[in-house]
A and B are shown apart, each in its own frame.
Chain A
């Protein structure tokens, strides 16, 4: 679901095809019929933006028909835990949870807690630095009672306030009929999916979900994944071979750039960036970010070792290991507020390295207006992408909204080295670090980002060398003495030395074998604790390329590259065995307890302390992993249980709830609350929204559109529109419409269409196809328009950018935009040129009374 794996991850899809040949059932749930659908046993269409209703329907089916995996659910999830009396559900409050404050449009999560625990209601204090998104791994489940269990539980799952019963009530109206009403999916098709999942789960079998940005790019994106997590926990499909919820990510190292983040809210290894008010010193930071039980109980050790990696000898216990050198957050500092800051003039400089926001990001005009108002911009890429050329060839130049001579941005285009021209590691979508070796030297001025950052840092440090300004200490004390490759003609830093720092070392400068020896006293150094061990034994473990056929028949192939953490290929794999440590079944055995040897064993690295007995019970006062029982697999959680109900860490509710997209032609059939009440909106003139159902003017934009990728192009096209073969294979921007819509709007196959939203209008060639089917929703027929988003003004092949059509509305947990469901109009013919384009869009906005987001 939310993915077109056959076209966008074709080589990964070989395993799906192979599984099907061996009898597995493949189901593709997607608004469009794609090659993935063609290779599946079943294609199930649904309206874009309604997946929670669909998945919630499956949860309801599992519960109503008693199809859950009872032993797994009782022992490994928080289903039996009793929740606070003060909690009120969306069923009670017509689409809101308890704790909602309409003024600040945010939740106070204190009523969502387990009974008998005290937890700070962080989620409601977003501006005060609430813990959300990537930071929310270590949920604050409060103090555990005796024996490492939450204070109150009902293992019969019958207590009206236990998670299981709350779940049952929450999804009770997500019936097959309701699924059909909301998603437009015929009831019979939906039931086939629900039954197939249940049939293929349990002791003997497991089912997996694969998803991509079709799930994440929504104002309820995090809750999409959460709904799948609930299903998988109910069916016992997490931590077991063939199970899981698998993110199919789209860039070579997008996983790596999340683990070792170029993200504002985290430091390497998912340590939160400190907040100005809540984390005034290291002790407060650790105290407020980590629970005493569970793996995050070691947070101080990981943080201190990171500070040692950053500031080396300058970081001592006396100066809090330079904790105050870290800049502080005070709210959302993601790219979206930064863009607004560029338009408003307080964000003046911008580094863009290997990304092309002028084409790849929503509301392209807003992106380009931001670029045009900078003091300086550095673009590093292979070729001159649209984010570098906006000042002379953007759509706004064509319409006259921007004039080259009036744009004050100073632009540096820096040619980048390719992966073939540098050493380094990518982390793939399954957490595998794979080293790529340099084949040839980069030519001309082309350089790696390693070179660029190292030498930029060196120059800045040289220029500030004599500074006595206290704010420059963090720069001058920085551990920045990386060795230079001996034979390099232009002083390329040694990438392996950087990887060694990431993997860390002990007080004798010996590389860390894993994260287990990391200490809080400053004796260990580690740039990213979850990567500790990647340089074990002074060996670049990520560079291991032992052919899989030479690995002694172990299908896990542990000697190919290296997976974080500790080369573990399936995380939470303790769940592959029953509470007593025996495999759930012979067929699905993966790791198990060996009583004779007194340790865990199996095909993979066990995700539990190797000698922790299945019947281990923590003593009072135990902390970190010692506070987790031997029969609890989810060791990152304070209670060791998989969370069906999330008491802390989410801003928009403890259970996923169906809300309509920000722009939708339909009302929410389940609740009075139309859309996610805490979604982030940017009501600004540069970011107008189409009216949603219930607003006058909603009918001006009657169609739903969704964006997607093609096999032959990559994201914003910077790496494919410059390639001859690929440009020839997919030469032109097009839109997919059904024959019914084509008839309704007079569109002709191979002709032109103009697609209009409140932001702008773009043109595309028309592909009339029954791959997109009209859906019957709430008694009305809705048409959907499919738009690939790869084109821009540069490259061998050019075209309008689909992302220009989208407005910016974000998921409140992780600040990801709603790119996958919005409304539009479509009409035959090419779009107007020049100022006439602006007039056309203005006319639509006036007719629709487009506004700045309410509901």
Chain B
């Protein structure tokens, strides 16, 4: 950078000349900074959402650019949260884009010492087979007094409080139709 280029970039002349003597405002701004825009401005769309952590239910706005989430922030329109998010809610983008997130099915065979790869479709098929088999092996038609049971205690389910109502509905509906009753979630904690 030549001295001629440098001088207008340097904040001191602006501090001396202008009203911003302590360079706490415009005097401190470089040309580069002046050209920056917030990434929210460039979003292709803003999607309305709800914070996934606790049950206060703060409104979120998700900014999407080129089919990627670029920012998640509080929704000012929400009468619950009025635009605010707590430290967890503010970290939502880091949650959904965490480097620790898994994107592939992992399979551990009985007595195995390593994870193995498995296609999603094959995994779904194997799970369906396991559920059918266990149900078959553990089915209880009636109890010793002849009362109708129509059930299996051979498998259980846990979780639901972090999921959607529609998902909980399908979990309860399908497992109930299979005769499973040990369907539980975090509300039991």
Contact = CB atoms under 8 A, between A and B. Distances in A.
Interface string A797-820: 000000000000000001111010
B164 A280 contact: no
A264 B177 contact: no
Given A324-B148, A351-B158, A361 B189 contact: yes
Nearest to B179: A327
B105 A412 contact: yes
Contacts of B179: 327, 471, 474
A325 B53 contact: no
Which of A443, A447, A548 has the most chain B CB atoms inside 10 A of its CB?
A: A548
B50 A722 contact: no
A264 B174 contact: no
B165 A253 contact: yes
A151 interface: no
A419 interface: yes
Nearest to A560: B79
Nearest to A546: B77
Interface in B57-75: 57-60, 62, 64, 67-69, 72, 75
Given A353-B160, A445-B104, A457 B170 contact: yes
Interface string B78-107: 111110111111011011101011111111
Contacts of B151: 327-328
Contacts of A460: 128, 131-132, 178
A452 B169 CA distance: 13
Interface residues of B, number: 115
Contact of B84 (A14, A249, A268, A434): A14
B91 A725 contact: yes
B164 A256 contact: yes
Query: Contact residue range for chain A?
Result: 35 or more
Which of B53, B67, B85 has the most chain A CB atoms inside 10 A of its CB?
A: B53
A254 interface: yes
Nearest to A217: B189
Contacts of A12: 56, 80
Contacts of B19: none
Nearest to B49: A436
Given A455-B124, A545-B77, A475 B178 contact: yes
A463 interface: yes
Contacts of A421: 96
Which of A376, A425, A816, A817 has the most chain B CB atoms inside 10 A of its CB?
A: A376
B105 A253 contact: no
B127 interface: yes
A355 B95 contact: no
B187 interface: yes
B161 A253 contact: yes
A230 to B, nearest CB: 24
B125 interface: yes
Nearest to A459: B128
Contact of B159 (A353, A464, A724): A353
Contact of B88 (A249, A427, A459, A714): A714
Contact of B156 (A254, A277, A351): A351
Contacts of A729: 87
Contacts of B87: 10, 711-712, 725-726, 729
B33 interface: no
A408 B57 contact: no
Contacts of A39: none
Given A325-B150, A711-B86, A425 B165 contact: yes
Contact of B181 (A329, A411, A443): A329
Contact of B103 (A352, A406, A415, A427): A415
A499 interface: yes
Given A354-B159, A384-B106, A444-B103, A273 B181 contact: yes
Interface string B173-188: 1101111111111111
A507 interface: no
Interface string A335-379: 111100110001111111111010011000000000000011010
A229 interface: no
A457 B178 CA distance: 9
Contact of A355 (B49, B79, B162): B162
A382 B124 contact: no
Interface string A427-455: 11110111111111101111111101111
B184 A264 contact: yes
Q: Which 4 residue pairs are nearest across A and B when measured between Cβ atoms?
A: A424-B164, A428-B57, A444-B103, A349-B155
29 contacts: A11-B81, A248-B55, A252-B55, A252-B162, A253-B168, A261-B168, A262-B172, A268-B172, A309-B173, A327-B149, A328-B150, A338-B153, A351-B158, A352-B157, A355-B158, A375-B130, A382-B95, A405-B113, A410-B108, A415-B101, A420-B96, A426-B55, A436-B49, A440-B68, A460-B128, A460-B132, A498-B170, A719-B52, A722-B98
